[in-house]
Structure formats: structure tokens, C-alpha cells
Amino acid sequence: MATPILRWCCPGRRWVFAGIGSVFRHGRGVPTGSTSSGKRGQSTVAQQPLITAQKPRKGEREWAAVVGLEIHAQIASNSKLFSGSQVDFAAPPNSLVSFFDASLPGTLPVLNRRCVEAAVMTGLALDCHINRRSLFDRKHYFYADLPAGYQITQQRLPIAVNGSLVYSVCVGKRQSQMVTKTAGVKQIQLEQDSGKSLHDSLRSQTLIDLNRAGVGLLEVVLEPDMSCGEEAAAAIRELQLILQALGTSQANMAEGQLRVDANISVHNPGEPLGVRTEVKNLNSARFLAKAIDYEIQRQINELENGGKILNETRSFDYKLGCTVPMRDKEGKQDYRFMPEPNLPPLLLYDSGSLPTGTDPQQVINIDQLREQLPELPRVTREKLVQQYGMLPEHSFALLNEVGLLEFFQNVIKETRAEPKKVTSWVLNTFLGFLKQQNLAVSESPVTPSALAELLDLLDRKAISSSAAKQVFQELWRSKGKTPAQIVAEKKLELMQDAEALEQLCRSTLEAHPQVVTDVKKGNPRAINKLIGLVRRATLGRADPTVIKEVLERQLSS
Amino acid sequence: MLGRTLREVSEALKQGLVTPTELCQRCLSLIKKTKILNAYITVSEEAALKQAEESEKRYKKGQSLGDLDGIPVAVKDNFSTAGIETTCASNMLKGYVPPYNATVVQKLLDQGALLMGKTNLDEFAMGSGSTDGIFGPVKNPWSYSKQYREKRKQKSHGENENSHWLITGGSSGGSAAAVSAFTCFAALGSDTGGSTRNPAAHCGVVGLKPSYGLVSRHGLIPLVNSMDVPGILTRCVDDAAIVLGILAGHDPKDSTTIQDPVKPFTLPSLTDMSKLCIGIPKEYLTPELSSEVQSLWSKAANLFESEGAKVIEVSLPHTSYSIVCYHVLCTSEVASNMARFDGLEYGHRCDTDVSTEAMYAATRREGFNDVKL
């Protein structure tokens, strides 16, 4: 759990180093594995009021952090970027390797149309300028998982430039407010993925699997417009949702379809930017923010102690929770960029510039792709807010879980209950049960129809809300039973007989004169006792709000 | 028969005056006799005889595939040939047997040509003498001509005559020698900076470098991707035209080939010279040009002029930059293209297993010659 101070600081956050023994130095980032129990520092640390972090005291230095991101997303295509071999995550090693992928001499690259379309679509979704003419280059370095000794990428003139990624972060004490932010998209380029190396230290050997070598990647470069781990994580999340909505990448970090490198530096506000480090291999959504924040803190500590930041490459050690320098990447690498001579410039057209008589199979029309763009998450959320009057945070939550939006929409279709009720039940109760048992929406034992039926019962006031919760629990546990069946089995129907309820209330009041006196004296909790008594008498089949109403009416008369 | 043009032999085959198997056997025995030339690295005897057999069946049925059906050809050893060792005359690829055919090789085979073998070259086609391959230099067949032997006899005064021989030029020296020695009717070479035309000139045969983009480079182990072209070596111009007609055309596997469809063509027979205008680039008359070559050049120009053609001076103003540009492009692209030779997936691998870097270094040191290090 991140220390509270971090969340509180974002947006436009400032990092304050309040001197030795501050919350910052000992409260987080555990390089030696010690917990934040203040072992090394004074025990008074934990009690330091957090508010002081906002207004720097005299003698304290303020710090601002700058975070840029390079994201590699595997393109969801049937075959690789420059060869016809298949793209499949879980195939046997070295079973999806064409002659070109294995770098057999004499083989040549042939560009995959679907990958170009994916790049254009992603560029359009991120408001980029699509370059009508882009070029391919070779980036050279020697590594066992790079068979040709170079990677084909787009260094000089990439396919899309100058866009923006709009995302939201949660602010406020209770994470309830959403603030919109923008990160500039510097460029999007097409490039090849490398193979995989598996290091077998036991036998001192490295095993190479070339299945991934040559798979198409979209590299999205985000400008250093983010200022902390949370903003970076939120930006990545939004990009994931966009890519998934477009279908251009499955963007699953666990399967390596989305990889993130971060460029991080710190400086005092008003002064020039500091030296940046690159943190590579941020491949887990959970640890992304943590790793970035750790590095920011490390740099602050270093500079405050009079040290210097080296322009180096580091990687995040998940076990230790810290960044460590990467030995192989010391010093600047010379990639000897060179134009790829086997690929002519990539020319894209729009409806206006399309030459007459061209085979549509041979060209890409940007306007056509633009028309076919699916709805972006941002638009979907706006529509939800407009249509159902839900809070923006709820629209985020609905889109954040695979299949949840569809589930929600199916319930809405089948129920008469108010959208707000549906939203609440889906996001609180339904999602709560899913998370508790670590299930995906697709694995839910409760169908949208079942929930819709339940909500209808509630809407008709056939059952109370507490009864509804009971029914839901039963629905979750036992398959096949409908809500109506469960209500009947457990006798959860609300009392419909108003006269009987009046009678019960009156008799309860008569039976407990002392409590009645307490109520009349003005004791606010006494009425609840009466309500409880009536409820028990009705075997839980009366709505507490209705009971309260009746009792109050009877008491006042 | 081996001295005929392609058209003549093709006609003879159709008429049954000679069979593909006979042609094949004659060429094979000539290859053995001329072994001293060292023109061939690999002779694919069995495969060629089998192809000859198939060709014969076709001719018997009257279903020949075309002008090249049953014709012995040779291919430079930097073209990938499925199932036949392709070495590029380098230790790095010694023992490497490709799993696929280069497009141009496939086109020849689809036309029924008989593949006699893979010819010698400068290592990885880097050179202009065909002297730098690991299999030794190629000797120019003209070294054994009467004129040359006479000349040497006069000069040698008892020295061993056989120790003197002429180079073929390069890097497609093996292909040029193979054609020049009548062991095949046509051969494939490659041309980056003259590697087909140079040995053609040295060996007295026709060498054609097609325009870049006309012929597919898929399967040609590259030297400089922006300049390499498969070259054609034959004993007469008409033969080269026939082969070009078969090889030219768009290849989806090579993105640098032009898309326009290639129309089949035949060279017109030229009798009226008056319509011909020939340009002589003035920048090519350099002080370094040997007097022998210069006089031959003038002789050719004069011949055309005397027959009625117009011969004028033209200017190719960027000539002086060409060598410099060539060197820059060549060195960058070669370094890039050689990066893939690490011994991991194919080819020579050293015995070191200390670390990846050590393995790469040792493999490449052992595999390449001095030019590349």
C-alpha cells in the first residue's frame, strides 16, 4: 500500500524533502528490504503531520519529477511484420519461425498490410498526424535473440507523430474526483520484436526461442508530461483500453503484449530539467507506479546527498522493490542507424490523393480507416454519463474490467429498475463478489438476466434491499435457481398487507411502553429498537423504512 | 554442339538432333577436364542428370517448357539453391545447405534448365579478381589458349609454364570461366559494382547487368542491397536477352522489384545503323585508362561510325562522385549484411562456449577473411 502522502500530492505534485528522518526517506522505497516501521528512523516519523508536505518550510527544497514513457505494444495480426509466419503467444519454441525470421541469408522483408493499418488506426485514435511517407531503418546491435544483428524500425521518419493521449487520475481525499490530463504523443513507429532469451544458469547456457522474433510492434513514445508513478500508470491504462477497443493490440502486460520503459528525471521547479535515467522492463501494471516512484525518490535522495545522477539504464527488481543498474547497457550504445535498403518508402493515401485506377488491395486509404474506427473508451464513457447520469468514476470502473460494460448493458436492457440502481449493484455487489473470488466477468455464476430479474423484484418492492442481498448471495452459490425461486424458498417476500403491518406496529408499541417513552423523550436510537422488534415479528419480511414510517406516524398521533 | 547459341541448341533439342542427357554428359565431362580452372565449387552431377531425364521426357512428348528446357546452366555460389551447398566461397557458410531456391534459380529450373553446379567467386562477392575465395582462385580459360601459351613460352625461358595464369576478374569469375570454357550455355552471376561485367570482359563473354529492380534479389546472398543485381553471362548477346526475358519481372518476395508487368521481348536484328545514336561519356576517359583498353574503345566507336551510326560525346557529370558514394554505401551495407553471421542459426560456429560475445567474436574471426575483419 503506497504511503498516503503520494496520492495526496498528485496532481501537479511536489515532492518535498523535509530533511533527514522525514517520511520520505524512511517511509517508502525499501532498498534493504526493511519495512516502513521506522526501524532506522525516529519513531516520531510516523506521527509527522502530512499537511506540512504541501507547504515547504523554510530551508526545504521542492522537487518536481518528469516522467516520459516508451511503450511497445505487440500488434494483433495473424502474421509477423515482415514475414508470413504466424503470431501466437503459446506455441512450442521455435515453431513459428520463417526463413526470414531466422535471418537465413538471401531472405528479404515484405511489409504486412494489417500492421500498417494497425499503426494508422492507433495514430488516428491518438490524434496524431499520419505521415503520408514514412521510412524504415536498421538499428544494429549484437544479441543472441536478434538473428539478423539488426532490428528493422522507423527512426528517421515514423508513421505517425504529434498526437495526444487524454487520461484521468483520481484525486481528492477519498479518490472520488477524476481529473483529466494529457500526455503528448511524440511518435508512433512500426518495428520488429526480438526473440526470447531464457538464461539457464545451471548449465551456463542461454536458450533462444525465435517465435517472437519479427512480430510487429507499435512503439508509442509519450512526451515527459507526467509527474509521478500514478499518472504514468493511468496513462498506460488508458492506452491499453484504447488499443483493446481498436483491436490493434491485446495489450496484455502479463503476456508481454505491452511493455513499458520509463525516462525519469527530477529537478527543482524553475530550474532546468535534471539528468534522466531510463528504467526498463516495467512489465507489470501493478508495479509500474511503484517502480517509477521508487526511482524518483532514489534520485531525490541522491541529489540531496550531494551525489549525481548518471544517464544510465536501470531495471526494476520486483522482489526487492527497487531499481538497479543494468550492467550490459553501461555507456551509450552506437546503433549505427542505416536506411533499410530492402524496403522502399511507405506511402499512404487519403481519398483526395489516391491515384486513379489503383488496386485497393495495394494501397491504404487513411480516410477509409478513419471512418471505420471503433468507438474510443473516452466516448463510451461520456455516453454512459450522458445516458445514465452516472458519475465519471463509475464509467471508468465499468470500462476497467473486461466484459463488465457488456454485462451492465445487458442488465439495463432487461430490467425496469433505474440505471443508478443497476450501476450501484453492478459496481458494488456484483464486482465485489467477482473480486473476492478472483473471477473474470465471463466466469460469473450470475447472469445479466438473473440480476435483472432480481432488480425488478426490488423495484416492485416485492422484496426489501437486505433480502435482495441475500437472494444475490444465494444466486451466486447455486446455479440454475431464479431469483423468484429463491425468494419463494426462503420466504423473503415483503409483507404486502399494510393493515397487518399497522396491527403489528401497534401491538409492538403497546408491548414496549418504556421504549416508547424513550422515543418521545427524544432518544434518537430508541426508534431503531422498535423497528428491530417489528422486523423480528414480521420475520424480516417488512421493509425497515416502511416500518419506521408507520411507527413514526403512529407515535405522533 | 556446345559452341552453339541457345536458340540453335534449343532447336536441335526440339528436333531430336541431340538429347538433354547427351548435352548434360558432355558438359559434365568438360567440367572434369577443365577442373584446373577451378570454376566450380560444387558440381551437382546427379541432380543435373535427373533434370536432363525429365527434360528428355518432355521433349519426347513434344511438351518442352521453352527455350531453356534441357539447357545446362551454372549458378554463382552466392545464390541460395535448395539442397545444394551454398558457400559464398567463405568458411562462414561452408556446409550450409539452404532450404529454399532463389527466385531466379527457381525461374531457371521452372523453365527446365539443367543446373550443372555452383561456381566459384570472391568471398561473399567482395573482390574483382575471383582470387579471394577459400576454394582458391579461378583461372581464366584464356590462360590455356594458344596465343597466351605462345606469349609465355617466349618470355619464360624454361620456367614452368603452368605456373602462370590469367585471372578471370570478379567477383563472378567462376560463372564467367564456366561459360567461356563451354561447360554451360549460360550462368548467373551477381553485379554490385561490376562483378558480372568485369569477369565477362576478362573471359571474353557477354555480361549483362540488368537495371536494379528488374530482376528479383530474393535468395541472392546480399553484399550491398541497394546495388546488387543478379547478372547474366552468356556467349552471345541474343542468349543474354533470352535469359533476361525469363528472369525479369516483379517478385512479391522482393519489395524492391518494380510492379509494372514485364512484356516479353526479342532483340531486333540491327542492319540499319543510321538510326542508331551512340554516346561516349567524356568523364570516362580518365588518365588511368590503359592504352590497350582505350584503343579498343576507339576501335568500337569507329566501327559504329563507319557503318553509319551517329557517335557523339555525352556527359555523365556525377561520375567523379560515384566511387566515393560506392565506398560509403558499400562499407555500411556490407557491415550491416554481415551482422547476421554469428553461427547461431546456421553456418560455421566456433567451439568456444564461454560467453555469447566470445562465441560471436571467435566465430566471425574464423569464418571471415581479412577483407571483412
Could you read off the pLDDT of A186-243 as tens digits, one per residue? Answer: 999 999 999 999 988 888 888 999 999 999 999 999 999 999 999 999 999 999 999 9
User: Given A291, A315, A339, which residue is the final one in a domain?
Assistant: A339
In this structure, are A139 and A272 located in the same domain?
yes
In angstroms, the separation between the Cα of residue A108 and the nearest Cα of chain B is: 6
Residue to substitute from B81, B94, B342, B357, interface A, most A β-carbons within 10 A? B342
In this structure, are A153 and A186 located in the same domain?
yes
In this structure, are A401 and A514 located in the same domain?
no
Report pTM: 0.84
B266 part of a folded domain: no
Q: Above 80 in pLDDT, residue A21? A: no
Residue-level pLDDT at B160: 62
DSSP string, A388-445: H---HHHHHHHHHSTTHHHHHHHHHHH--S-HHHHHHIIIIIIHHHHHHTT--GGG-S
**A102 CA to centre of own chain:** 36
In this structure, are A247 and A273 located in the same domain?
yes
A57-84 pLDDT, tens per residue? 444 678 999 999 999 999 999 999 999 9
Count up the domains in chain B and report the number. Answer: 1
Residue-level pLDDT at A7: 31
B158 part of a folded domain: yes
Give the type of residue at B257.
T
Q: Name residues whose C-beta falls within 8 Å of residue A406's C-beta, 6 or more positions apart in sequence.
A: A441
A502 part of a folded domain: yes
Q: ipTM above 0.90?
A: yes
In this structure, are A292 and A200 located in the same domain?
yes
In this structure, are A102 and A135 located in the same domain?
yes
B336:A338 CB<8 A: yes
A336:B335 CB<8 A: yes
Q: Give the CATH number of the domain where residue B33 resides.
A: 3.90.1300.10
A148:B339 CB<8 A: yes
B222:A105 CB<8 A: yes
Q: Which burial class, exposed, middle or buried, applies to A421 when counting CB atoms under 10 A from its CB (0-12, 13-18, 19+)?
A: middle
What's the pLDDT band for A9 if we cut at 50, 70, 90?
Answer: very low
DSSP string, A46-85: GGS-GGGGTSPPTTPEEEEEEEEEEEEEE---SB-SSS--
B195 part of a folded domain: yes
Which sign does the torsion angle of CA B7, B8, B10, B11 carry? Answer: positive
More confident residue, A165 or A284: A165
State the Cα–Cα distance between residues A121 and A188, nearest whole angstrom. 11
Instruction: Kindly report which listed range (A95-99, A113-117, A350-354, A501-505) carries the lowest average pLDDT score.
Output: A501-505
State the Cα–Cα distance between residues B17 and A255, nearest whole angstrom. 68
Q: Specify the DSSP element, H or E, that contains B114.
A: strand B114-119
What's the pLDDT band for B159 if we cut at 50, 70, 90?
Answer: low
State the Cα–Cα distance between residues B310 and B279, nearest whole angstrom. 8
Q: Above 70 in pLDDT, residue A56? A: no
Residue-level pLDDT at A255: 87
Instruction: Kindly report which listed range (A166-170, A446-450, A504-508, A543-547) carries the lowest average pLDDT score.
Output: A543-547
**Hey, which residues of B are catalytic here?**
76, 171, 195
More confident residue, A465 or A162: A162
The pLDDT > 70 percentage for chain A reads 87
Nearest CA in chain A to B332: A338
More confident residue, A37 or A402: A402
A111:B255 CB<8 A: yes
What's the pLDDT band for B157 if we cut at 50, 70, 90?
Answer: low
Minimal Cβ distance to A140: which of B100, B336, B342: B336
What's the pLDDT band for A183 if we cut at 50, 70, 90?
Answer: very high
In this structure, are A469 and A511 located in the same domain?
no
A275 part of a folded domain: yes
In angstroms, the separation between the Cα of residue B32 and the nearest Cα of chain A is: 30
What's the pLDDT band for A15 if we cut at 50, 70, 90?
Answer: low
Q: Range of A387's domain?
A: 377-489
CA nearest to A309, candidates A281, A261, A267: A267
Q: Range of B36's domain?
A: 6-247
A99 part of a folded domain: yes
In this structure, are A218 and A321 located in the same domain?
yes
CA nearest to B201, candidates B191, B211, B213: B191
Cell numbers for A138, please give them. Answer: 536498421
B236 part of a folded domain: yes
What is the average per-residue pLDDT within A345-365?
89
Residues from B contacting A (CB-CB < 8 Å) are 79-80, 88, 93, 98-100, 102, 217-222, 224-226, 252-256, 332-333, 335-336, 338-342, 344-346, 353, 356-357, 360
What is the average per-residue pLDDT within A80-98?
93
Residues from A contacting B (CB-CB < 8 Å) are 99, 102-111, 138, 140, 142-144, 147-150, 204-206, 208, 210, 336, 338, 341-344
In angstroms, the separation between the Cα of residue B314 and the nearest Cα of chain A is: 31
Residue-level pLDDT at A23: 31
A333 part of a folded domain: yes
Residue-level pLDDT at B162: 62
Residue-level pLDDT at A535: 81
A103 CB neighbours in chain B (<8 A) are 340, 345
A413-468 pLDDT, tens per residue? 999 988 998 999 999 999 999 999 899 999 988 889 989 998 988 888 888 787 88
In this structure, are A437 and A503 located in the same domain?
no
Minimal Cβ distance to B253: which of A108, A138, A140: A108
Minimal Cβ distance to B100: which of A99, A336, A344: A99
B95 part of a folded domain: yes
What's the pLDDT band for A266 if we cut at 50, 70, 90?
Answer: very high
CA nearest to B194, candidates B217, B234, B224, B219: B224
Residue-level pLDDT at B230: 97
What is the average per-residue pLDDT within B13-26?
94
Residue-level pLDDT at B203: 96
Q: How many CB atoms lie within 10 A of CB A200?
A: 10
Instruction: Kindly report which listed range (A170-179, B187-196, B244-253) carries the lowest average pLDDT score.
Output: A170-179
The pLDDT > 90 percentage for chain A reads 49
B98-132 pLDDT, tens per residue? 999 999 999 999 999 999 999 999 999 999 999 98
Do residues A104 and B345 touch, judged by C-beta distance below 8 A? yes
Residue-level pLDDT at B158: 60
Q: Give the CATH number of the domain where residue A511 resides.
A: 1.10.10.410
Highest mean pLDDT among A1-15, B271-285, B349-363: B271-285
Residue B341 has φ and ψ, to the nearest 5°, of -90, 90
> b/e map of B218-235 (b: 16 or more CB within 10 Å)?
bbbbbbbbebbbbbbbbb
In angstroms, the separation between the Cα of residue A100 and the nearest Cα of chain B is: 11
State the Cα–Cα distance between residues A7 and A489, nearest whole angstrom. 48
B201 part of a folded domain: yes
Instruction: Kindly report which listed range (A112-116, A183-187, A243-247, A427-431) carries the lowest average pLDDT score.
Output: A427-431
In this structure, are A386 and A311 located in the same domain?
no
The pLDDT > 70 percentage for chain B reads 97
A139 CB neighbours in chain B (<8 A) are none
A150:B102 CB<8 A: no
Do residues B52 and B43 touch, judged by C-beta distance below 8 A? no
Instruction: Kindly report which listed range (A58-62, A278-282, A369-373) carries the lowest average pLDDT score.
Output: A58-62
Q: Above 50 in pLDDT, residue A139? A: yes
The pLDDT > 90 percentage for chain B reads 76
In this structure, are A203 and A260 located in the same domain?
yes
State the Cα–Cα distance between residues A210 and A100, nearest whole angstrom. 11
Residue-level pLDDT at A469: 87
B27 part of a folded domain: yes
In angstroms, the separation between the Cα of residue B310 and the nearest Cα of chain A is: 39
A99 CB neighbours in chain B (<8 A) are 99-100
What is the average per-residue pLDDT within A108-116?
96
In this structure, are A404 and A307 located in the same domain?
no
Residue-level pLDDT at A43: 36
In angstroms, the separation between the Cα of residue A141 and the nearest Cα of chain B is: 9
Give the CA count within 13 Å in the CB-facing half-sphere of A301. 18
Instruction: Kindly report which listed range (A9-23, A535-549, B146-160) carries the lowest average pLDDT score.
Output: A9-23
What is the average per-residue pLDDT within A251-268?
93
Residue-level pLDDT at A460: 84
Q: Which burial class, exposed, middle or buried, applies to A35 when counting CB atoms under 10 A from its CB (0-12, 13-18, 19+)?
A: exposed
State the Cα–Cα distance between residues A86 and A97, nearest whole angstrom. 8
Residue-level pLDDT at A51: 27
A317 part of a folded domain: yes
Cis check: omega of the bond before B171, within 30 degrees of 0 = yes
Phi-psi region at A440: left, alpha or beta (left = phi > 0; alpha = psi -120 to 50): beta
Residue-level pLDDT at A52: 27
Residue to substitute from B215, B340, B364, interface A, most A β-carbons within 10 A? B340
Residue with cell 551454398: B86
Residue-level pLDDT at B166: 93
B93 part of a folded domain: yes
What is the average per-residue pLDDT within B62-91?
95
Cell numbers for A45, please give them. Answer: 516519523
A100 part of a folded domain: yes
Residue-level pLDDT at B156: 67
Q: Above 80 in pLDDT, residue A351? A: yes
State the Cα–Cα distance between residues B73 and B174, nearest whole angstrom. 12
B200-258 pLDDT, tens per residue? 999 999 999 999 999 999 999 999 999 999 999 999 999 999 999 999 999 999 999 99
Count up the domains in chain A and report the number. Answer: 3
Minimal Cβ distance to B340: which of A143, A148, A206: A148
Which sign does the torsion angle of CA B41, B46, B51, B52 carry? Answer: positive
